[in-house]
Structure 1
Amino acid sequence: MSKEKKIPRFHLAFPVKELKDTLIFYRDVLGCETGRSSDKWIDFNFFGHQVVAHVSPDDAGKSAKNEVDGHEVPAKHFGVILEWDEWHKLVERLIEHNTEFVIAPYIRFEGEPGEQATMFFLDPSGNALEFKAFRDESQIFAV
């Protein structure tokens, strides 16, 4: 009987313009639970990882873009790789909340190594998020 290796959780701190809309978006739209907070930051349980939104209006939402698969991808972004069905449920949830997509949900690299479902959208501070899923998780690092 083999024991599956547990993947370490990551911690990410990122800048936001203000906390009220950030709280509503991450808690109510994405479904993240909140943790500790102050008037300058909020901890979120971001799909099992700890992300912290820090008030820093001058730093929020700035990113260059790079062309990938015919789309302008924000160079600075973060997100998670979800199970295939969970990704589709999140797409539905985002649509229900009238989320504007930077790159609408689609299948990238279709029929090629690394085929994945992906989408990009912005939080209220303009920070880019990418959520993706693989039918075959062995393709995550495929070349």
Structure 2
Amino acid sequence: MKSKCLHLAIPAGDLEKAKTFYCDILGCKTGNGEPGRWVDIDFWGNELTLHQSEEQLPNVRHEVDMGAVAVPHFGIHLPDEELQALKQRIEAAGLEYLDKPYRRFVGDEYEQETFFIKDPNGNVLEMKSMVNPELMFR
């Protein structure tokens, strides 16, 4: 059996600030939850559970072709038009990129545009669009 839905639970800091970021800026919707404790977010068809928290995850940098990227991180692959609309919402909200939009593997079958942002609690997200998404897992 192959599942197409990932579940990820993360410390979200102030739950209301986190919900504003994920829903109003990224465009996600809320699902089930327990007020003041946790809420499920529809993260492009995946279940992202935001937990009210005091702690923040430490981030380190790992070297890849585009430089040193923050680890841990998570994100989503989007069609290009959705990625461009997301960038406009991020910029309209006055958020700064952790790592600005960048094209990787230019001219290669794995060419993609990617960028990194942080949520209000410091969780790092990588958002990307693949030129040939059908080739990712062959």
* TM-score higher than 0.5: yes
* 1:7/1:117 CA distance change after superposition, 3 Å: farther
For 1:90 and 1:52, the matched residues in 2 are separated by: 21
Is structure 2 residue 52 aligned with structure 1 residue 73?
Answer: no
**Percent identical:** 36
Report if aligned partners of 2:77, 2:129 keep a CA contact under 8 Å in 1. Answer: yes
Q: Residue 30 of structure 1 corresponds to which residue in structure 2?
A: 26
TM-score when normalising by structure 2: 0.90
| 1:138 Cα deviation from its structure 2 partner | 3.4
2:88 aligned to 85, 88, 92, which one? 92
Q: Which amino acid aligns with 1:107?
A: R
Instruction: Supply the RMSD in Å over aligned alpha carbons.
Output: 1.7
Report if aligned partners of 1:32, 1:46 keep a CA contact under 8 Å in 2. Answer: yes
Is structure 2 residue 38 aligned with structure 1 residue 41?
Answer: yes
Unaligned runs of 5+ in 2: none
Q: Deviations over 1:10-56 (max 9, x none)?
A: 11101122212101101110111111222111111111111001123
For 2:114 and 2:66, the matched residues in 1 are separated by: 13
TM alignment of 1:1-143, pairs within 5 A? 8-38=4-34, 39-58=36-55, 60-141=56-137
Unaligned runs of 5+ in 1: 1-5
What SS class does the counterpart of residue 121 from structure 1 fall into? strand
| 1:70 Cα deviation from its structure 2 partner | 3.5
For 1:63 and 1:29, the matched residues in 2 are separated by: 23
